[in-house]
Amino acid sequence: AQSVTQLGSHVSVSEGALVLLRCNYSSSVPPYLFWYVQYPNQGLQLLLKYTTGATLVKGINGFEAEFKKSETSFHLTKPSAHMSDAAEYFCAVGPSGSARQLTFGSGTQLTVLP
Partner 1 sequence: DSGVTQTPKHLITATGQRVTLRCSPRSGDLSVYWYQQSLDQGLQFLIHYYNGEERAKGNILERFSAQQFPDLHSELNLSSLELGDSALYFCASSVATGQGQEQFFGPGTRLTVL
Instruction: Rank residues 52 and 84 by Cβ distance to partner 1 and give the closer one.
Output: 52
Instruction: Rank residues 26 and 106 by Cβ distance to partner 1 and give the closer one.
Output: 106
Q: Kindly state the number of chain residues that form the binding site for partner 1, as judged by CB under 8 A.
A: 24
Instruction: Rank residues 53 and 114 by Cβ distance to partner 1 and give the closer one.
Output: 53
Among the listed ranges 18-26, 61-69, 70-78, 98-106, the one in contact with partner 1 (CB under 8 A) is 98-106
Q: How far is the CB of 32 from partner 1 (least distance, A)?
A: 4
Report yes or no: 46 and 30 within 8 Å, Cβ to Cβ: no
Sign of CA dihedral 53, 60, 93, 111: positive
Q: How far apart are CA 37 and CA 49, in angstroms?
A: 12
Q: Tell me: cis bond preceding 79? Omega within 30 of 0 counts.
A: no
